Amino acid sequence: MAKAMTKSQIADHVAGKAGITKKAAAQLLDDLAALAYKEAKNTFALPGIGKLVLANRKARMGRNPQTGEAIKIPAKRVVKFRVAKAAKDAILGKR
């Protein structure tokens, strides 16, 4: 399996496609990430890729894998990423 692209490689690719400097492309990626973090509470969507959503998990009973003892896992809020249908179809192919 191939290695994931680094931020520098992504910035280089975006810079080449958009005809901007690599530094400007890296700044664009940073700004996009900052915007996603700020707006995640309202659902942040990247069209064609997916969206970040907040979800509430209920409290539940779990097990300590070492001892087998039952433990209570508290309720909490988590961030989930929902992949867009267009991305699934492009990556996995039509079924």
Q: What is the pTM of this model?
A: 0.75
Over residues 46-68, the pLDDT tens digits come to 999 999 999 999 999 999 999 99
CATH topology of domain 43-95: HU Protein; Chain A (4.10.520)
Residues of the chain with CATH 4.10.520.10: 43-95
Separation of alpha carbons 87 and 16, rounded Å:
23
Q: Tell me, what's the pLDDT at 2?
A: 79
Separation of alpha carbons 10 and 28, rounded Å:
11
